[in-house]
A and B are shown apart, each in its own frame.
Chain A
Amino acid sequence: MQASAVEIRNVNKFYGPFQALKDVDLSVPAGKVTCLIGPSGSGKSTLLRCINFLEEYDSGEIRIDGRLIGYDAPGRKMSGRALREMRRSIGMVFQQFNLWPHMSARENVAEGLIRVRGLSKTEAGARAAEALAKVGLADKMDNHPSRLSGGQQQRVAIARAIAMEPRLMLFDEPTSALDPELVGEVLTVMKTLAAEGMTMVVVTHEMGFAAHVADRVAFMERGELVAADTPDRILHQPQDPRIQSFLRTYHERNSF
């Protein structure tokens, strides 16, 4: 029995009358890569953002290493301090990178180490340099984001997250904003992380990545988690007609 890093049980999320997540259940095994796929608007990103409580779920439970996130008890929100402490060990990478434009690559990575982990500037700078070297940007440390390509910016964003030494990494469509020729360098960094045993949850439209790197693939549609299984069973032998139709559309769009 594999230990679960994230346990999602019966999670519901409403935006006014619109239900974005419907009774979602999902277990994310530790040390594995779980990909969330599905059409846009299916709730993948919302679910991912609920895992670090950037988005507040309305009912159900999300447990990170056994600990409930966002609430002390059902309906009672946890304190900001407790939530921040839990977020420290959850890295997140965004579609739009969200690097801070007024800081260099190195400062972007060091900022969290200084403010959140309380490291000295020197120590944080050294750790930031290590993290940037790891994503292949040792020579770009002093550049501001505006002087970096999209792929480089996203790698800085990954370095910013891994420098905090998280136990879990969330990726929200990390390659969707990139020019096609820059997707590869970001996926390579993600594969390295996966090979090192990082627990990863990845919302993606890169079916190739899901097929080759994911240990589990979960398919969502209209706020429901339709199925979660091995990449092979979801992507190559899908049983559910909704998955079949999604993949058909995907293949048609990508063939020429």
Chain B
Amino acid sequence: MFSIPVFLESLVPLFWAARFTLLISVGGIALGLVIGTLVCAAGLSPSRALRNFAALWVSFLRGVPLLVQLLVFYYSLPLIGLDVPAMVAAIVTVGICASAYISEIWRGAINALPRGQAEAAVAIGMAPTDVWRRVILPQAVTMSLPALINELILLVKASSLVSVVGILEITRASQAQAATTFRPLEVYLAAACIYLVINLCLAALGRWLEHRTAV
């Protein structure tokens, strides 16, 4: 029999565990945005070396599953004498992995802009920094928003993978809960509900942002 009280009771500790899920996802996307922007800039630069580096970065990180990246990163840190908390390792790995996707999101948006947009600015004598800051980036950001929100939602779900390095986020917490209560269905269903609520909120945030920046 499905027990509603057990279901409701499991919501509380899982909500508490959700703070780690959010920390990893938001930290990961923030780091991913910074690195991804740099990688994208490298990929669009005139320097062949930088372009090759960006291409390697993207293809390597997209080509290896996040779970494997996590394990490799986590177990390689002690080898180079670094003792970082599991949480930091998790955010860094998630962020680096996200950077590959985010740099491709930027690249797609920038390439999708008609060449005439920048040309009109260049033709009146605008400096390259202003062309980027005032003409290209605002439009690229608007165009990228749906894809970026998509990426953030994917990260929330992918953060369940960091349970393998011992972080008590929603998934790991529900595993522990299920083991002590012997009511896996109720517990995992509660976990599913919490993921769903988080992601519905993110989707709503995305729609609001899109609406605000719509032209």
Contact = CB atoms under 8 A, between A and B. Distances in A.
Contacts of B108: none
Contacts of B128: 80
A160 B114 CA distance: 19
Contacts of A157: 120
A78 interface: no
Interface string B137-175: 011001000000000000000000000000000000000
Interface string A88-104: 10111010101111100
Contact of B124 (A88, A99, A101, A102): A88
Central interface residue in B117, B124, B127, B134, by most chain A CB within 10 Å: B124
A98 B123 CA distance: 11
B123 A52 contact: yes
Contacts of A148: none
B77 interface: no
A157 B116 CA distance: 12
B142 A54 contact: no
Interface in A71-125: 80, 84-88, 90-92, 94, 96, 98-102, 111-112, 115-116
Contacts of A52: 123
Interface residues of B, number: 21
Contacts, number: 69
A45 to B, nearest CB: 12
A92 B123 contact: yes
B9 interface: no
Interface residues of A, number: 28
A62 to B, nearest CB: 15
B71 to A, nearest CB: 43
B109 interface: no
Interface in A32-78: 52, 54
B215 A87 contact: no
B213 to A, nearest CB: 8
B81 interface: no
A144 B142 CA distance: 15
A6 interface: no
A146 interface: yes
B123 A87 contact: yes
Nearest to A88: B125
A161 interface: yes
Contact of B127 (A86, A90, A115, A146): A115
B114 A87 contact: no
Contact of A84 (B116, B120, B127, B138): B127
Contacts of B119: 54, 94, 98
B125 A85 contact: yes
A210 interface: no
Nearest to B122: A54
Contact of B116 (A85, A86, A96, A112): A96
B125 A102 contact: no
Contacts of B139: 100-102
Those 8 A-B pairs whose CB atoms lie nearest each other, nearest first = A98-B116, A98-B120, A88-B125, A112-B124, A87-B125, A92-B123, A84-B125, A115-B130
Interface of B: 114, 116-117, 119-128, 130, 134-135, 138-139, 142, 213, 215
20 contacts: A52-B123, A54-B122, A54-B123, A84-B125, A84-B127, A90-B123, A91-B123, A91-B124, A98-B117, A98-B120, A100-B121, A100-B134, A100-B139, A101-B215, A102-B138, A102-B139, A112-B124, A112-B126, A115-B130, A157-B120
